[in-house]
Every structure is written in structure tokens, then in C-alpha cells.
């Protein structure tokens, strides 16, 4: 990889008998925005704590800038963290909080003052230095926490569920700001979240973690369009996941009905899972539909309608459509071959990539 700043090699973490992380292997490129995405208890925060140095791996190696850092304590790593609860020191004001790291390192007073002012400016808290932490709103505390971390000019900034305590509107605003800040500073951000929308919106690269392993990693678009397995498809966005049989290359059977698709490289008649995103399904007339069914429910969500339809084989489909329909109406459902995404059971990420490469080259 071009500009590798950090690497995990076969990292395992156990607490007593409890395996929290198993065989974690990844590389982090400098200057990019990474997101570790997973449900709570998946192990994503543990990875962050290993990077920060609050915990040590049970086995495996962690490299930073080419050096093994397994035994380097947290206070000697060029990594800073924005904590979920911000962890601002309650007995210090804003400026004192931001200055803490510099003071510890013995930076000169005049320089501290200047750098604190710059950092506060970066997070748009100009002139808030003398405020008490208790006098700051949730969003402002968040910014103080970011300023306190970036003022130390870390090579990697870790953000642990950093936006989860904010309300929706503020969160969306902070997503944009964080992304801009990362571009401006040019340092690596590693962001931990359980919110898939947040991950898709901000990241260059997403790693999906579940059950102590990395399920899939890639750009947001790759992961959304080509989820590797049931978990990823289900976790990222909304989806219809249906069991199917791969009759031959480019032909999949769902509920006994055959459909053309764009996937290949599997064994004939292999049992697979098929993912179709609700927004890729269109409501049409009965005669134009590839599937026929009856509308069960319809919810208006502002941007679109969320519709459920059960087809004649009694399978229920989720459909997101900007057009309204009528509950109880008989409708057709149409979709294109490229809307069908086929997933093999237990396929690893490498196999998946190799298979994709094999038939995409053919075309």
C-alpha cells in the first residue's frame, strides 16, 4: 500500500476466556478517513483501544509507521482520541483542557497559547477559551474534545462514537465538518460508529466489524452495492434478502422463478442468497411486473414511501418508491438484472474479490 501508517497483523484480544477480537488483519493508509462500523459489542471499540494503547493485544502485532508498538504505552503514541463521552476534564476550562497535552509535553507558554487559539479556531470555538466546560452545550463540548486532540498534531486521530450523543440535526452538521477538518489537516481519521448512514456519508474506507472479526472492508459504494454476506447486506442500508439457487452463470432462481443477473463464477445449482435493495424495486402494472403481488402497507417518510408487497408465492418485499400506491391494490414489481446481487454462503473477502475479478475481466 502506498503510504501505510498503521497495520494490524493477526491481532487477537481476549478478556479472560472471552474472545473479543479474532485474527484482525488490516492496513491503514495515511491521510484517509476510515470508519469501523459494527453493532455494539462487535469489538470495534476494542480495536480503537488497541490503537490508542489503552489495551494490549493478547497475540498478534500492531505496527505504527513501520515500528511495532504493542508495548508502547498510550502516553507515548502519536495518536489522540476523541472519546464518546468527550472525557473533558471538569475542573479545567476550555483552554486548559485543550492545552493539557501540550503542557504535559512541556511546550512553551507562548506557543501553547497560540496553538490552543488555532485549534479552537479550527473547530469554530474562537474566543470560548475561558468558558467552563459546564457552560458549554453538547455540540460545543464535542468541538472542545476534537480541539484537545488535534492540537497535539497526532498522525492518527481516533474518534469513538464521537457523534452519538448529539441530536440528529447537529450530528449531520458535524459529519460535514469532520470530513472538512480531516481534509484540511490531512491526517488519518479512524472513526468508530454503529450508525451506517454516518459511515457511508463520511468515510473513504469502511471496515465492517461483527463478532470480533472484520466482515468486509472497502469504499462505501463497494460495500453498499456488493455486500459480501447476509450480515453486511442487512446491516448496511435496507434490503430484501432472499434465498436462491444459482442455476448457471448469470441466471439465478428465486422462489422457483428464474431471473437474469450479472453474477457469475459459482458452481451450478449452488445455493446462494440474493440481495435486492428496496429502492431498486419499482411498482408497475401487473402485466409489466416480473413479480406480482398485493400491497400490504404504505408509510410516507418525507422523501419516499415505504411499501410492503406480498407476492403470489407469499414472499414479502420491501420497496422504497417516490410514487404513491394504494393499500390492497394488485401491482407488479419490476427490476433490472444489475439490481440483483448474489452472495455465496461463507465466502471470504479474498475469494469474493478474486471471483469478481475473474468474470469482470472476461467482459
Partner 1 sequence: MKKRHLTWSGLYLAVVFVILYAPIVYLVVFSFSAGTTMENYHGFSLRHYADLMSDTRMITIVFNTIIIALLASLVATIIGTLGALAIKDTRGKVKNSLLSLNNVLMVSPDVIIGASFLIFFTMLGVRLGFISVLLSHIAFCIPIVVLMVLPKINELSPTLVDAAYDLGATRWQAFSQVVLPAITPGIWAGYFMALTYSLDDFAVTFFVTGNGFSTLSVEIYSRARQGINLEINALSALMFLVSLLLVLGYYIISKHGGRHHRVVAVKEGDVQ
Check if the beta carbon of residue 259 is closer than 8 Å to that of residue 251: yes
From the list 144, 146, 124, the residue with the least C-alpha distance to 134 is 144
From 4, 26, 58, 83, residue interacting with partner 1 (rule: CB under 8 A)? 83
Footprint on residues 196-255 left by partner 1 (CB under 8 A): none
CA angle 253, 254, 257 (to 5 degrees): 70
Check if the beta carbon of residue 148 is closer than 8 Å to that of residue 98: yes
For residue 1, give every residue at least 6 positions away whose Cβ sits within 8 Å of its Cβ, in sequence order, or none. 27, 29
Number of residues that bind partner 1 (CB under 8 A): 26
Look-up: residue for cell 488490516? Answer: 26
d(CA 109, CA 37): 40
Q: Does 45 bind partner 1 (CB under 8 A)?
A: no
Look-up: residue for cell 479550527? Answer: 122
Window 88-107: contact mask with partner 1 (x via CB under 8 A): xxxx--------xx--xx--
Cβ proximity to partner 1: between 90 and 328 the closer is 90
Distances (CA, A) of 56 to 13, 47, 109, 323: 8, 10, 34, 53
From 37, 52, 281, 331, residue interacting with partner 1 (rule: CB under 8 A)? 52
Where does this chain touch partner 1 (CB under 8 A) — which range of 16-24, 83-91, 262-270, 306-314?
Answer: 83-91
Where does this chain touch partner 1 (CB under 8 A) — which range of 57-65, 82-90, 111-119, 334-342?
Answer: 82-90
Q: Does 327 bind partner 1 (CB under 8 A)?
A: no
Q: Does 153 bind partner 1 (CB under 8 A)?
A: no
Cβ proximity to partner 1: between 96 and 347 the closer is 96
Window 7-36: contact mask with partner 1 (x via CB under 8 A): ------------------------------
Q: Does 189 bind partner 1 (CB under 8 A)?
A: no
Where does this chain touch partner 1 (CB under 8 A) — which range of 147-155, 170-178, 274-282, 291-299?
Answer: 147-155
Check if the beta carbon of residue 252 is closer than 8 Å to that of residue 258: yes
Cβ proximity to partner 1: between 76 and 346 the closer is 76
Look-up: residue for cell 503514541? Answer: 77
From 53, 129, 212, 278, residue interacting with partner 1 (rule: CB under 8 A)? 53
* Burial class of residue 117 in the structure, from the number of CB atoms within 10 Å of its CB (0-12 exposed, 13-18 middle, 19+ buried): middle
Consecutive H or E run containing 58: none
From 148, 194, 277, 344, residue interacting with partner 1 (rule: CB under 8 A)? 148
d(CA 296, CA 106): 67
Q: Does 301 bind partner 1 (CB under 8 A)?
A: no
The full DSSP string for 245-281 is: EEEETTEEEETTEEEE-S---S-TTEEEEEEE-GGG-
- Hey, how many other C-beta atoms are within 10 angstroms of the C-beta on 260? 11
d(CA 81, CA 176): 19
Look-up: residue for cell 474562537? Answer: 126
d(CA 262, CA 340): 7
Cβ proximity to partner 1: between 69 and 276 the closer is 69
Nearest approach in angstroms of CB 35 to partner 1 is: 20
Q: Does 265 bind partner 1 (CB under 8 A)?
A: no
Cβ proximity to partner 1: between 73 and 243 the closer is 73
Q: Does 261 bind partner 1 (CB under 8 A)?
A: no
Check if the beta carbon of residue 293 is closer than 8 Å to that of residue 311: yes
Cβ proximity to partner 1: between 83 and 250 the closer is 83
CA 170 to chain centre: 19
Q: Does 142 bind partner 1 (CB under 8 A)?
A: no
Nearest approach in angstroms of CB 350 to partner 1 is: 34
Nearest approach in angstroms of CB 86 to partner 1 is: 8
Site residues for partner 1 per CB under 8 A: 52-54, 73-76, 79-81, 83-85, 87-91, 100-101, 104-105, 134, 148-149, 152
Amino acid at each position: 500500500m502506498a503510504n501505510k501508517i498503521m497495520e494490524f497483523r493477526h491481532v487477537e484480544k481476549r478478556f479472560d476466556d472471552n474472545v473479543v477480537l479474532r485474527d484482525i488483519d488490516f492496513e491503514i493508509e495515511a491521510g484517509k478517513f476510515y470508519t469501523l462500523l459494527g453493532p455494539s459489542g462487535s469489538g470495534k471499540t476494542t480495536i480503537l483501544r488497541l490503537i490508542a494503547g489503552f489495551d494490549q493485544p493478547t497475540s498478534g502485532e500492531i505496527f505504527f509507521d513501520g515500528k511495532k508498538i504493542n508495548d508502547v504505552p498510550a502516553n507515548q503514541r502519536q495518536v489522540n482520541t476523541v472519546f464518546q463521552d468527550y472525557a473533558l476534564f471538569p475542573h479545567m476550562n476550555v483552554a486548559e483542557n485543550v492545552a493539557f497535552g501540550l503542557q504535559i509535553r512541556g511546550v512553551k507558554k507562548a506557543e501553547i497559547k497560540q496553538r490552543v487559539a488555532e485549534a479552537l479556531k479550527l473547530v469554530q470555538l474562537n474566543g470560548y477559551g475561558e468558558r467552563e466546560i459546564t457552560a458549554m452545550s453538547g455540540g460545543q463540548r464535542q468541538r472542545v474534545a476534537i480541539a484537545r486532540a488535534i492540537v497535539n498534531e497526532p498522525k492518527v486521530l481516533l474518534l469513538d462514537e464521537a457523534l452519538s450523543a448529539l441530536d440528529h440535526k447537529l450530528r449531520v452538521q458535524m459529519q460535514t465538518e469532520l470530513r472538512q477538518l480531516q481534509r484540511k489537516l490531512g491526517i488519518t481519521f479512524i472513526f468508530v460508529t454503529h450508525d451506517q448512514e454516518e459511515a457511508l456519508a463520511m468515510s473513504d474506507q469502511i471496515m465492517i466489524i461483527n463478532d470480533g472479526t472484520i466482515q468486509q472492508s472497502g469504499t462505501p459504494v463497494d460495500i453498499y452495492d456488493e455486500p459480501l454476506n447476509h450480515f453486511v447486506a442487512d446491516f448496511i442500508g435496507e434490503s430484501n434478502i432472499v434465498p436462491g439457487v444459482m442455476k448457471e452463470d448469470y441466471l439465478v432462481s428465486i422462489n422457483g422463478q428464474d431471473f437474469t443477473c450479472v453474477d457469475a463464477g459459482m458452481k451450478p445449482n449452488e445455493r446462494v442468497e440474493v440481495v435486492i435493495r428496496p429502492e431498486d424495486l419499482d411498482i408497475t402494472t401487473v402485466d409489466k411486473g416480473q413479480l406480482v403481488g398485493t400491497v400490504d402497507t404504505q408509510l410516507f417518510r418525507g422523501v419516499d414511501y415505504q411499501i410492503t408487497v406480498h407476492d403470489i408465492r407469499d414472499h414479502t418485499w420491501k420497496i422504497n418508491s417516490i410514487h404513491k400506491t394504494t393499500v390492497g391494490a394488485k401491482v407488479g414489481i419490476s427490476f433490472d438484472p444489475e439490481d440483483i446481487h448474489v452472495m455465496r454462503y461463507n465466502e471470504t473477502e479474498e475469494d469474493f474479490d478474486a471471483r469478481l475479478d475473474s468474470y469482470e475481466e472476461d467482459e
